[in-house]
Structure 1
Amino acid sequence: SMRLSFYLLLPVVVTVLLTVSVAYYVYIPLPDSIQEQWKLMMLDAGFRTTMHLVRNILGSEPDGGVAPGVKVSDITFAGVPVRLYEPPAGGEGHLRRGLMFFHGGGWALGSGKKGSYDKINRMVSDELNAVVVSVEYQMYPEVHFPVPYLDCLTAAKHFLSAEVLSRYAIDPDRVAVSGDSAGGNLAAAVSQEVR
């Protein structure tokens, strides 16, 4: 009798635990102004699941395995959070390239500190002997346009200051901006304004 009730109760307990786990994975807090929040939550969960599967299938190298000589620092440029990648020290007296990177994500998702963005920035820093600055601009829904653009512009102006260029031994004639998707839009706007 006790054993029978255990076997009858086990599927209920497993179902409840699975339901709670899936709900915890899917749920993300969203502003009340967004309509059909569950559709956005399901889409986000689908993207995250796909990314986890791709990483597991393709394999994921730990951060230290990609360009291990690159020094990585999380700092701020004029109040804007950035991740700075410095290549291994080269010959004395040689100025390095500088590169600002703005991640994509529709001005609402992503971080230059995670996944492929971090790995690519490490490799670019190492292979091009470049100081790479990945800007962690503020995103929607916490802020609206033009805040992400202003964050990127503020970080770029700080990066281009004589003091910063000197501190990291960067050639002022060899500085570029880059980005993908929304970051590409930010890169174009920042380069036009700075020019």
Structure 2
Amino acid sequence: MRLKPVVFTVLLTVAFAYYVYIPLPDAIQEPWKLMLLDAGFRATMHLVREEMFSILVHGFEGVMPGVKVSDITFAGIPVRVYEPPAGGEGHLRRGLMFYHGGGWALGSAKKGSYDAINRMVSDELNTVVVSVEYRLYPEVHFPVPYLDCLAAAKHFLSPEVLAKYAIDPERVGVSGDSAGGNLAAAVAQEVNTNN
């Protein structure tokens, strides 16, 4: 009977080693540290998949049923527009451009926590949020993601679009996380320089 725990331990050790091991160049010092770090990141990604965030999104849809979500294009760039519930007639609303993170290679603001956060921001701050689906690496290279975000922002700032969504042109901002924060800063600088 003592054989079962030993077999289980050996199998668990082999499975762990198989999961952790990745081939690395010989020049890397202490490769086991890099392997463990990589395994930790991969394990985290497995635990926090998009499916888990979909529960969060559906929860926000229930809490914020008045937020209208539209998938359209601005200057040929796919965007998702979040419009807060109608109210405060005669008052202009805020506008916010949002650029998702992902190292210019991953991600979509239409899924998971980004979608949930944009719904919440739109509802709680009475803000029209425009989330930009800029093109990603490896299909495109720098500066294409930046140019996509800039084109969408310029379209959003046009008087026709601001009027359509009842946005105060003096209360428009840009935001993003990680790589999206970099894009937001670059777009804000370019728009301020040319105005």
- Partners of 2:73 and 2:50 lie apart in 1 by 33
User: Secondary structure of the equivalent of 1:132?
Assistant: strand
Aligned residues of 1:95 and 1:171 also touching (Cα < 8 A): yes
From 136, 145, 165, the counterpart of 1:168: 165
Q: Which whole-Å CA distance do the structure 1 matches of 2:75 and 2:41 have between them?
A: 32
Q: TM-score, normalised by structure 1?
A: 0.73
> 5 Å matches for 1:103-122?
103-122=100-119
The 2-side partners of 1:157 and 1:60 are apart by: 32
How many residues get paired? 154
Q: 1:45 to 1:189 in 2, by over 3 A?
A: same
Do the aligned partners of 1:66 and 1:122 also contact (CA within 8 Å) in 2?
Answer: no
Q: Which amino acid aligns with 1:106?
A: G
CA 1:68/1:103 → structure 2, altered by over 3 Å: closer, same or farther?
same
The counterpart of 2:184, out of the listed 160, 184, 187, is 187
2:49 is aligned to 52
Tell me: CA distance 1:169–1:144, structure 2 relative to 1, closer, same or farther (3 Å): same
Q: 2:93 aligns with which of 91, 96, 109?
A: 96
> 1:106·1:181 contact (CA, 8 Å) conserved in 2?
yes
Structure 2: gaps (5+ residues): 1-34
Structure 1 position 70 matched with structure 2 position 54: no
RMSD: 2.4
- Aligned match for 1:156, one of 141, 153, 158: 153
Structure 1 residue 67: Cα displacement: 1.5
CA distance in 2 between counterparts of 1:178 and 1:135 reads 11
Q: Match for 2:56: what amino acid?
A: S
Cα pair 2:50 2:112 within 8 Å, conserved: no
How far is 1:165 from its partner?
A: 0.2
Match of 2:78 in 1: 81
Long gaps (5+) in structure 1: 1-38
* TM-score (ref. length: structure 2): 0.73
Q: Return closer, same or farther for 1:137/1:88 CA change in 2, 3 Å cut-off.
A: same
Q: Does the 8 A contact of 1:66 with 1:119 survive in 2? A: no
How far does residue 60 in structure 1 lie from its aligned partner after superposition? 3.4
Sort the Cα spacing of 1:177 and 1:111 in 2 relative to 1 into closer, same or farther, 3 A.
same
Supply the AA of the counterpart residue of 2:119: R
Measure, in 2, the Cα distance between the counterparts of 1:81 and 1:99.
16
Question: Alpha-carbon deviation of 1:157?
Answer: 0.1
1:54 deviates by 9.3
Measure the CA separation in 2 of the matches of 1:166 and 1:53.
35
Return the alpha-carbon distance in structure 2 between the equivalents of residues 50 and 97 of structure 1: 36
Partner Cα distance (2:50, 2:191) in 1:
40
Q: How far apart, in 2, do the equivalents of 1:86 and 1:53 lie?
A: 24
2:57 and 2:112 in contact (8 A); partners too:
no
Residue of structure 2 in register with 1:124 after alignment: 121
